[in-house]
Amino acid sequence: LSSLTAPEFAAGVRSWLDDHAGELHGNRHRSPASLEHAFADESRFHRMLHDAGWSRWGWPEELGGLGGSPVLRAVLHEEVTAAGYAVPESMLTIEVIGPTIAKYRPDLAALHLPAFLRGDEIWCQGFSEPDAGSDLASLRTRAILQGDSFRINGQKVWTSYGQLSRWCVLLARTGTPESRHRGITAFWLDLQAPGVTVRPIACANGRNELAEVFLDDVVVPSAAVIGEVDRGWDPVMYLMQFERGGFAWGRQGWLHARLSDLLAAANGDRIAAAASAAGEAWLTLAALRERVWQTVVRLADGESPGPEISVDKLLLSGAEQLVYDAGRLLDDGALEFGDDDASAVFRTDWFFSRMVSVYGGAAEVQRDIVAERLMGLPRSR
Ligand SMILES: Cc1cc2nc3c(=O)[nH]c(=O)nc-3n(C[C@H](O)[C@H](O)[C@H](O)COP(=O)(O)OP(=O)(O)OC[C@H]3O[C@@H](n4cnc5c(N)ncnc54)[C@H](O)[C@@H]3O)c2cc1C
- pLDDT tens digits for 97-112? 999 999 999 999 999 9
- Rounded to two decimals, the pTM is 0.96
Q: What is the mean pLDDT of residues 310-319?
A: 97
Calculate Rg over the CA atoms of the chain.
21
**Residues of the chain with pLDDT > 90: what percent?**
91
- Tens of pLDDT, residue by residue over 246-297, are 999 999 999 999 999 999 999 999 999 999 999 999 999 999 999 999 999 9
In the predicted model, is pLDDT for residue 157 greater than 90? yes
Of the residues 89, 129, 243, 320, only one is catalytic, namely 243
Helices and strands, counts by H and E, the chain: 12, 8
Looking at residue 38, its pLDDT comes to 86
Closest approach atom of ligand 1 to CA 363 = 47
Ligand 1 contacts CB of residue 95 (under 6 A): no
Ligand 1 contacts CB of residue 183 (under 6 A): no
Report which of 285, 174, 160 is spatially closest to residue 212, judged by C-alpha positions.
160
Give residue 381's pLDDT band: very low, low, confident or very high (50, 70, 90): low
**Residues of the chain with pLDDT > 70: what percent?**
99
- Helices 309-330 and 268-300: angle between axes, nearest 10 degrees: 160
Q: Which of 168, 359, 377 to mutate to test the pocket of ligand 1 (most atoms within 8 A of CB)?
A: 359
Looking at residue 28, its pLDDT comes to 82
In the predicted model, is pLDDT for residue 2 greater than 90? no
Ligand 1 contacts CB of residue 355 (under 6 A): yes
173 with 181: CB under 8 angstroms? no
> Higher model confidence: residue 320 or residue 27?
320
Report which of 217, 197, 221, 222 is spatially closest to residue 141, judged by C-alpha positions.
217
The amino acid sitting at 345 is: V
Active site residue 23: no
- Tens of pLDDT, residue by residue over 107-151, are 999 999 999 999 999 999 999 999 999 999 999 999 999 999 999
Cα-to-centroid distance, 131 and ligand 1 (Å): 10
Ligand 1 contacts CB of residue 133 (under 6 A): yes
Longest dimension (CA), the chain: 70
- Measured from the Cβ of residue 203, the count of other Cβ atoms closer than 10 Å reads 17
In the predicted model, is pLDDT for residue 39 greater than 90? no
Ligand 1 contacts CB of residue 368 (under 6 A): yes
What torsion do the CA atoms of 120, 126, 130, 135 make, to the nearest 10 degrees? -140
